[in-house]
């Protein structure tokens, strides 16, 4: 019996090709938008989580002012650094300074971020301290050493790719490239240059009390969130500040991941809500199509009832038709969404934003398909009820 319902639905679609196609448009556009947006959002979250995992979950970050690259805020000082180092549970504290500086390679001159890293005695590598992994060459260690990002050693920033052993000038001072840093996924990070902390102070005309960042590694057995609270308390005392008046920011790896995740979730909710309008339009189209189908097939419904079809049979015929419309629209939408998100990820990678990727978990595909069926079935419920309640005599007399 169920197979007969599907045969009837197939016959209806074959005879109404144009109407069926136009009805599907709203569904597959909406599903394609939802699938592509969710897959891109999940891909970005995965890439961000991967970068923080490489840095380590036992990290606490201290920076001045409102955070980010706000260089106008009060700098951190050596006194602050010592206060952080003295806290029980802190394994190590490393500093950094950064600035957009003039960089010359060959005959080309550009301006890009240059970061001074603390290369003093440590039981950790720079990759473990700062999350900057060298894929070729070595880490900076001596005065005059420089590590360069992907856009520099892959000819993205300069016309010519810089190689290990090449010389560059930063603020007029000569440096030798000793290491290439792995691709991080965005043009800003991938265009960075890392030099030693002392070289940065000299090149940027800074003092040791002009610190932009303190990277804290927490000892095993200590909770980063607890250490973060201790750091806040110590810095308030050092800088003579009341609670709530802090001119510094202290964050753990987990807090940063959560902040990024919250932002991505909000963006996704807004965009998916907009995409949901297409699904609403698609549902209205299915409802309209099914009402039209009921009117056109009134005589057919009368004949089926006259030869023994029950209200339940008529209801299922129209409900299955609308559900199939939803499923077919969903399948087309899923395929289109996968293709669209892969295209966006490919274009972003070509533009230097490899952090923008797309992933397709099983629950996204199955959920999108189930949702498409639900929209179709729900949209066809009222027309199906109307068809099932038609009286055989009235249906046969309908013209």
Query: Residue 12 has what pLDDT?
Result: 64
Q: Which residue has the higher pLDDT, 327 or 275?
A: 327
pLDDT 10s digits, 175-188: 999 999 988 878 88
Query: Residue 67 has what pLDDT?
Result: 47
Q: What span, in angstroms and rounded, lies between the C-alpha atoms of 216 and 17?
A: 65
Q: Is the pTM value of this prediction over 0.75?
A: no
Residue 66 pLDDT greater than 60, yes or no: no
Helix (H) or strand (E) holding 357: none
3 state SS of 79: helix
**Where exactly are the structural domains of the chain?**
2-52+258-397, 75-246
CA distances from 135 to 32, 130, 138, 182, 352 (A): 38, 15, 8, 6, 18
Helices (H), the chain: 2-15, 17-55, 78-85, 126-130, 150-153, 187-190, 197-204, 224-238, 253-296, 298-306, 311-350, 362-388, 392-397
Per-residue pLDDT band at 4 (split at 50, 70, 90) = low
Per-residue pLDDT band at 166 (split at 50, 70, 90) = very high
Burial grade of 207 (CB within 10 A; 0-12, 13-18, 19 or more) = exposed
- Across 288-302, average pLDDT: 73
Q: Which residue has the higher pLDDT, 348 or 396?
A: 348
User: CB–CB of 20/13 below 8 Å?
Assistant: yes
Pairs from 225-232 (Cβ < 8 Å, separation ≥ 24) = 225/252, 225/254, 225/255, 226/89, 227/60, 227/87, 227/89, 227/90, 228/60, 228/252, 228/255, 230/87, 230/88, 230/89, 231/60, 231/62, 231/84, 231/87, 231/90
Query: Residue 124 has what pLDDT?
Result: 76
Residue 369 pLDDT greater than 70, yes or no: yes
């Amino acid at each position: 019996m169920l197979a007969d319902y599907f045969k009837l639905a197939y016959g209806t679609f074959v005879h109404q090709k144009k109407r069926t196609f136009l009805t599907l448009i709203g569904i597959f556009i909406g599903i394609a938008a939802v699938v592509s947006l969710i897959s891109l959002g999940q891909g970005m979250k995965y890439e961000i989580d991967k970068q923080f995992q490489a840095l380590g979950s036992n990290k606490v970050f201290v920076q001045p002012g409102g955070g980010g690259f706000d260089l106008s805020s009060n700098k951190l000082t050596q006194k602050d650094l010592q206060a952080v180092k003295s806290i029980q549970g802190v394994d190590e504290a490393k500093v950094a300074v950064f600035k957009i500086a003039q960089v010359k390679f060959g005959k080309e001159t550009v301006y890009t971020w240059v970061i001074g890293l603390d290369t003093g005695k440590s039981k950790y590598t720079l990759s473990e301290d700062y999350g900057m992994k060298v894929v070729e060459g070595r880490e900076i260690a001596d005065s005059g050493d420089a590590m360069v990002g992907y856009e520099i050693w892959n000819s993205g920033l300069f016309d010519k790719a810089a190689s290990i052993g090449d010389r560059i000038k930063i603020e007029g001072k000569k440096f030798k490239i000793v290491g290439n840093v792995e691709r991080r996924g965005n043009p800003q990070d991938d265009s960075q240059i890392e030099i030693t902390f002392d070289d940065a102070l000299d090149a940027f005309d800074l003092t040791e009390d002009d610190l932009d960042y303190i990277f804290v590694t927490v000892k095993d057995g200590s909770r980063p969130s607890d250490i973060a609270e201790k750091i806040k308390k110590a810095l308030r005392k050092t800088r003579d500040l009341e609670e709530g008046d802090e001119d510094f920011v202290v964050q753990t790896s987990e807090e940063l991941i959560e902040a990024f995740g919250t932002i991505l979730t909000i963006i996704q909710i807004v965009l998916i809500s907009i995409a949901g309008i297409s699904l609403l339009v698609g549902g209205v189209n299915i409802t309209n199509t099914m009402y039209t189908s009921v009117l056109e097939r009134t005589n057919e419904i009368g004949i089926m009832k006259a030869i023994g079809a029950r209200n339940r049979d008529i209801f299922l015929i129209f409900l299955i038709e609308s559900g199939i419309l939803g499923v077919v629209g969903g399948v087309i939408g899923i395929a289109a969404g996968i293709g669209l998100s892969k295209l966006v990820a490919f274009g972003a990678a070509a533009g230097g934003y490899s952090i923008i990727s797309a992933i397709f978990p099983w629950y996204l595909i199955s959920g999108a398909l189930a949702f498409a069926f639900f929209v179709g079935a729900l949209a066809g419920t009222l027309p199906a009820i109307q068809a099932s309640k038609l009286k055989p005599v009235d249906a046969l007399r309908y013209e």
